[in-house]
Amino acid sequence: MGEWRDMTAEALEDQYSPSRWSSRLGRETIIQAHIATMAAATQRARASVQTALHVPYGDGDREKLDVYFPPDPSETFPVLVYIHGGYWQCLSKEESGFAAPPLVSQGVGVVAVGYDIAPKGHMDAMVLQVRRSIAFLVERYSRIRGVYLCGHSAGAHLAAMVLSTDWTEYGVVPDIKGAVLVSGVYDLEPLLHTYVNDELNMSREVAQRNSPMQCIAPAASVAVTCEVLVAVAQQDSPEFRRQSQEYGQALRAAGWSVSMLDLAGVDHFDIIERLSEESYILTQELVLQLQAARD
């Protein structure tokens, strides 16, 4: 713990710049390629799957959900809620439906969550929005049987914050059966010293109260049993890999059921892009978890 405090500012910037660690593409091109890949796959999903797009869960411009229904939505079905990354300052639900086709074919609903990104959105508000979206979802769609969270990068952070929610404030307790957290950030304090905070403008207090590492609820206090899968890419930076390892260990120490998955041959970007592939190991893990919800 705390090694990041000994790093130079330049080293810390490097560690929290995922585009510098991929062996596939250059730093300037990989992010644009990632956005294009996700957007194209989302368009394909919208063209092939029954959807309800832009469903408002609040009054804000981005407070909307895209719902991708399984072939027979008259039956009860588990739902995967996908929370996009983009360092809380880019991407949207418009690039977040890419994983729907292989999942809906297995009888799973997929929901892509929109939320306000920086500079309009600030960290407290983003966490609140995602929590509200989950409460709205389970109230609106009574046929949902089991909620699974999946978040990538900043989205993994937001999904982890959902796990620490006190649902008494929301008048509903979602049946969150699992969470797949992919290449996430679980301690925001190191980001205060990097370019990432230029738009977010977090104080130390904001970073601490919105750090999943700082607000892990004992598993015994959680209303439902939740399986957590913490996944990280071989080509994630050492800091991203450390954060995943330490968060997984902290959850386990608090009594949560945790699996760790270290995926070889992928970087920070294609670790999530490949969820559009039926044969991809992470897709298969999700299908297994989601099918278990129906058994």
Determine what percent of the chain is predicted with pLDDT higher than 70: 97
Task: Tell me what pLDDT residue 25 has.
Answer: 85
* pLDDT over threshold 70, residue 294: no
Instruction: Give me the CATH topology for the region 3-294.
Output: Rossmann fold (3.40.50)
Q: How confident is the model at residue 291 (pLDDT cuts 50, 70, 90)?
A: confident
Contact 18, 33 (CB under 8 A): no
In degrees, rounded to 5, the angle at the alpha carbon of residue 159 between the alpha carbons of residues 96 and 280 is: 55
Residues 18 and 266 sit within 8 Å (Cβ to Cβ): no
pLDDT above 60 for 2:
no
The DSSP symbol for 121 reads S
Q: Which of 113, 116, 111 is nearest to 62 (CA)?
A: 116
So where are the chain's domains? 3-294
pLDDT digits (tens, 9 = 90+) for 96-118: 999 999 999 999 999 999 999 99
CB count in 10 Å sphere of residue 107: 18
Given a cut of 70, is residue 158 above it in pLDDT? yes
pLDDT higher than threshold 90 for residue 224: no
Confidence of residue 1 (pLDDT cuts 50, 70, 90): very low
What is the reported pLDDT for 74?
74
* pLDDT of 195: 94
| Per-residue pLDDT, 217 | 86
State percent of the chain over pLDDT 90: 86
Helix 154-163 × helix 123-140 angle, to 10°:
60
The average confidence (pLDDT) of the chain is 94
What number is the average pLDDT over the span 251-269? 96
3-state secondary structure of 200: helix
Is the pLDDT reported for residue 293 higher than 90? Answer: no
Is 90 exceeded by the pLDDT of residue 67?
A: yes
Where are the strands (E) in 90-165, listed by range?
A: 109-113, 144-152
3-state SS, 54-97, equals EEECCCCCCCEEEEECCCCCCCCEEEEEEECCCCCCCCCHHHCC
Which residue would you say has higher pLDDT here, 67 or 291? 67
Residues marked active site are found at: 153, 236, 268
Torsion, CA 235, CA 236, CA 237, CA 241, rounded to 10: -120
pLDDT value at position 204? 97
The pLDDT of residue 121 is 87
Measured between its terminal Cα atoms, the distance across the chain in Å is 40
The model's pLDDT over 4-57, given as tens digits with 9 standing for 90+, comes to: 988 998 999 999 999 999 999 888 899 999 999 999 999 999 999 999 999 999
